[in-house]
Chain A
Amino acid sequence: MKPELLLSVDSKQSFWIDPRTKLYMLVIFSIVMIDGKTDGISFWLKPILALIPFFLLLSGRRKKIAIIYLIVFIVSWTVNVFLVPYMGLIGTIIISLLAQFGTRWFPSAMMGYYLLSTTKVSEFVLAMQRMHIPEAFIIPFSVMFRFFPTISEEAGSIGNAMRMRGITGKNFFKNPQAVLEYRIVPLMMSVVTIGNDLSAAALTRGLGNGKKRTSICKIGFHWKDFALMIIVTAALLVFLLF
């Protein structure tokens, strides 16, 4: 789990788009990309659509991941479209399964990564408020993203302590019960304590008193948002109609 999820601080991005636009694009991606067709209109549509996360990641200053993504997609697309018809039986099954992974799942995953790594928690919370999502979902959601880094930190420390006693993942099959118990129980203990502290802190700041909350962030739709939305909606329509 990467600690940078929803915690990015570079608010002066050259290409800022609204969290709701990102969410909308993710939905479209998960509809269009999950389908396995590579012939007909999909042959042109999907690579074009797959380029969107690449440019977005570039604009979000995540060059390395963007380039890795582009290479993986091009390779698996080429394999899928041009190589699979000429391969032997078993080769087809194994390689094309991997390639399917690259063409179907990877673009959506990158879109999700872009959403999570370039949006601040408060922006995301405000976007959810604007979408009239009830507080029952907003509060756990914002807590969750604050918690991913905390948990990996705690788990790391517990792992270090347990390594001294030889209770590591490597020895899992020697004594699975001990590995499970001595890893999970301390983690839960500390997590429950942190949770109590967190809720005390949040309650003092007036979370959950039922009033409408204000936010320091500014979100809104600009021409970029409309342009992206039109592009992906057109892609969806083309995909559904043809």
Chain B
Amino acid sequence: MDKKKLNAKDFINIGIFTVIYFVMFFITGMLGYIPIFAVIIPLVLGILGGIPFMLFLTKTGKFGAATIMGTLVSVLCFLMGQSWISIPFGIVFGFLADLIFKAGEYKSWKHTVLGYCVFTEWVIGSMLPMWIMRDTFFEAYRSKGGTDEYINAVMGLTANWMLPVVIVLGIVGGVIGAYLGKAILKKHFVKAGIV
């Protein structure tokens, strides 16, 4: 069997780890129902997803795995009734992460951390409707006679500058998650001979 290309065993592993990652995402997504907490979703997702993702990387250290995983996670989001906008995000960020992992030959720790941070950013895709929705929502509100000061105050919570904040939080979460994942991997899985 070709060692460099993904084979059926890898596909099965991708499926399994996507499920675990998605469960982590689902837990995180519960936070999103509380409007203010929605902003920290990338942070929490980065931390929670770190452990499965690090194990996933050691299991399938081949080009394409992260792309498939990103695509599948976002397609699952879509099937659960979210907007389709998250699908291109899942594909693009998964692919970018793959490129970074590839540059580090799937061994370099720096590339792994960076790649995982990039991968975590796909979640922006599932959060974008929040920003798109906001505009139509406040437009309707203004036309019904809402005062501008009040609107501005509420808008501040979801203002455009929050987007960079969300991105930075994703990176922070990614770094914490990657280190957490590495520590856990070392502590448990290497000892048990699973990796």
Contact = CB atoms under 8 A, between A and B. Distances in A.
Most A-side CB within 10 Å, residue of B11, B48, B55, B80: B11
A148 B22 CA distance: 10
Contacts of A112: 78-81
Given A136-B64, A140-B18, A144-B19, A208 B8 contact: yes
A48 interface: no
The secondary-structure label for the interface of chain A is helix
A36 B133 contact: yes
A181 B8 CA distance: 30
Interface in B137-165: 137, 140-141, 144, 146-147, 150, 154
A110 B13 contact: no
Contacts of B136: 35-37
Chain A interface size, under 10 / 10 to 19 / 20 to 34 / 35 or more: 35 or more
A202 interface: yes
B8 to A, nearest CB: 3
Interface residues of B, number: 51
Interface string B71-82: 110001011111
A30 B81 CA distance: 7
Contact of A36 (B18, B79, B140): B140
A140 B72 contact: yes
A1 interface: yes
A137 B146 contact: no
A135 B78 CA distance: 20
B51 interface: yes
B74 to A, nearest CB: 12
B11 A26 contact: no
A142 B15 contact: yes
Nearest to B64: A136
A139 B72 contact: no
Given A135-B11, A207-B8, A192 B55 contact: yes
B68 A136 contact: yes
Interface in B153-194: 154, 184, 188-189, 192, 194
Nearest to B67: A136
A147 B80 contact: no
Interface centre among A92, A140, A141, A148 (most CB of B within 10 A): A140
A104 B81 CA distance: 10
Contacts of B76: 144
A116 interface: yes
A185 interface: yes
A101 B119 CA distance: 28
Nearest to A134: B68
- The listed residue with most B CB atoms (<10 A of its CB), out of A37, A195, A198, is A195
Interface of A: 1, 26-27, 30-31, 34-37, 84-85, 89, 92-93, 96-97, 100, 104-106, 108-113, 115-116, 135-137, 139-144, 147-148, 151, 155, 180-181, 184-185, 187-189, 191-192, 194-195, 198-199, 202-203, 207-208
22 contacts: A34-B129, A34-B133, A36-B136, A100-B133, A106-B81, A108-B81, A136-B11, A136-B64, A137-B68, A139-B11, A141-B72, A144-B72, A151-B23, A180-B48, A184-B51, A185-B184, A189-B188, A192-B55, A199-B8, A199-B13, A202-B8, A208-B7
